[in-house]
Structure 1
Amino acid sequence: MSDTSEKEQPRRRQARGERRIAQLLEAAARVFCTTGYTAASTNAIAREAGVSPGTLYQFFPNKEAIAIELGGRLVHEMRETYGEALAPVDPATSLEEAIGAAVDRFIAFNTEHPVFFALMHGPDMPGGITEAHDQLHTTLIARIEGLLSSLMPGASPADVTRTAHVCLGVYKAGLELVLAHEGAERTAYVQEIKDVLIRYLDPLVGDRLGRG
């Protein structure tokens, strides 16, 4: 066997392992969304993935390890999402456009990955994910504060922080309704979230943004 073939074998095994892990994580996401984290089991995840429990245990020792890996990947993707969604706003952008663009990006992420809400905001969040959730929440609030500070230059830091928490709270409350509906009803709930945030922020922002 050539040196090249010997080097290729570990890479092939690694690629197969990565594909299997992705397969297990996708199955776990479906199970967690359907049953919730507490009621989920490794046997159910293995069955959903079409593999034996023994195969699953080759990669993950238990369902918490699966949830932590899945949550970690989603948190990484979510950080990229909110980085784009909360980018500085052009002064010519209307408040409606600014809020609409941010909400649409967050909603797109959450509807594409409903397990993120199931793991991060469910009543039975696995312990290993709590720290990642808290870090994400803290960073997200800081990014919202940064955006609001540019829109509310005369506001005190305490006012900006309070406003950021209210905005995030409104979004999270509305998100649960959005994920519980489909089609036109989902679209209507998304618009309700935007309207609530716009009406809340409009008197605080004043004429800082255009109304184009």
Structure 2
Amino acid sequence: MSEADERPRRRQARGERRISQLLQAAASVFCKLGYTASSTNAIAREAGVSPGTLYQFFPNKEAIAVELGGQLVKQMEEAHGRVFTAENARLPLDQLIDAIADPFVEFNCANPAFLALIKGPDAPGRVTEEHDTLHATLLDGVSGLLALRQPSLSTVERTLIAEMSFAMFKAALDLIVQSEGEERTAYAGEMKGMLYRYLAPYVGTGPVTVDGTAAPVGAAGATSRALPTGS
């Protein structure tokens, strides 16, 4: 390859590195200040570049947020594809909760900007739309696991249990992400215990056999709960 051909490739590589640098800076600023109070000047300072350099790649704060949010949603989508599996659904309940919860806790702790963005009251519409789509996909994943573990549950029951479980997880996630060390570990343990106690009467605590035999429900039994019926 000639030197003339190499120059555009080097420029492209430098541009990609600069974009990555700016997105990392934006993530830090959004976490510190929140999306609303953040500015392109603050992001440029965090990245160690001039505002003019930032504007070569992004026209405004919203464009930065959309790019960052899109990348984080994509990473989250890749994570959920690895955890909502039939193999995980058949695990004992405590191991199933570990297999599902741990990757999402790890992701959100490593990327606190994700929560900072989606919770911003004036977050860009595209960011919230992508998050809403992701949310629906995650609920479908949880519902699918419930169907594999306890086929006797109706669609309405699975949907309600999935929504309640997800709401519990998200409420605890705020505490987990905002803490560190032993405190974070303690909050994560409490979150898992809460999910275990909630789900056990519906889907049992033991493993599910490969041939599809459903996990036995707890003493309360799935049918003893005041859930709506339907299909």
- TM above 0.5, yes or no, is yes
User: CA offsets, 1:82-133, max 9 Å, x none?
Assistant: 1112222357621001101211111111111111111123444322211111
Alignment of 1:128-147 (within 5 A): 128-147=126-145
Give the distance between the partners of 2:121 and 2:166, measured in 1 at CA.
Answer: 18
Give the distance between the partners of 2:85 and 2:108, measured in 1 at CA.
Answer: 19
Q: Hey, what does 1:153 align to over in structure 2?
A: 151
Moved more, 78-87 or 189-198: 78-87
Moved more, 41-50 or 85-94: 85-94
What's the Cα RMSD here?
Answer: 1.6
Q: Hey, what does 1:52 align to over in structure 2?
A: 50
Q: Hey, what does 1:4 align to over in structure 2?
A: 2
Q: Hey, what does 1:61 align to over in structure 2?
A: 59
Counterparts in 2 of 1:144 and 1:206: CA distance versus 1, 3 Å: same
Which of 33, 36, 40 is equivalent to 2:34?
Answer: 36
Partners of 1:46 and 1:53 within 8 A in 2 = yes
Partners of 2:92 and 2:206 within 8 A in 1 = no
Q: Hey, what does 2:102 align to over in structure 1?
A: 104
Moved more, 129-138 or 200-209: 200-209
Which of 21, 24, 28 is equivalent to 1:26?
Answer: 24
Which of 154, 173, 176 is equivalent to 1:175?
Answer: 173
Q: Hey, what does 1:162 align to over in structure 2?
A: 160
Give the distance between the partners of 2:120 and 2:186, measured in 1 at CA.
Answer: 24
Moved more, 116-125 or 147-156: 116-125
Please, which runs of 5 or more residues in structure 2 have no aligned partner?
A: 209-214, 216-231
Deviation of the 1:189 alpha carbon: 0.2
Alignment of 1:109-124 (within 5 A): 109-124=107-122
User: CA offsets, 1:146-178, max 9 Å, x none?
Assistant: 111101200110110111111111111000000
Give the distance between the partners of 1:126 and 1:169, measured in 2 at CA.
Answer: 23
Deviation of the 1:207 alpha carbon: 5.9
Is 2:75 the partner of 1:77?
Answer: yes
Q: Hey, what does 1:191 align to over in structure 2?
A: 189
Partners of 1:95 and 1:198 within 8 A in 2 = yes
Q: Give the match's secondary structure for 1:38.
A: helix
Give the distance between the partners of 2:89 and 2:55, measured in 1 at CA.
Answer: 54
Deviation of the 1:141 alpha carbon: 0.9
The amino acid of 2:177's aligned partner reads: L
Q: Give the match's secondary structure for 2:131.
A: helix
**Higher relative contact order, chain-length normalized (CA < 8 Å, sep 6+):** 1
Deviation of the 1:143 alpha carbon: 1.1
Equivalent residues, number: 209
Counterparts in 2 of 1:66 and 1:156: CA distance versus 1, 3 Å: same
Identity of aligned residues (%): 54
Give the distance between the partners of 2:20 and 2:55, measured in 1 at CA.
Answer: 14
Which runs of 4 or more aligned residues in structure 1 lie more than 6 Å from their structure 2 counterparts after TM superposition? none
Q: Give the match's secondary structure for 1:89.
A: helix
Please, which runs of 5 or more residues in structure 1 have no aligned partner?
A: none
The amino acid of 1:203's aligned partner reads: P
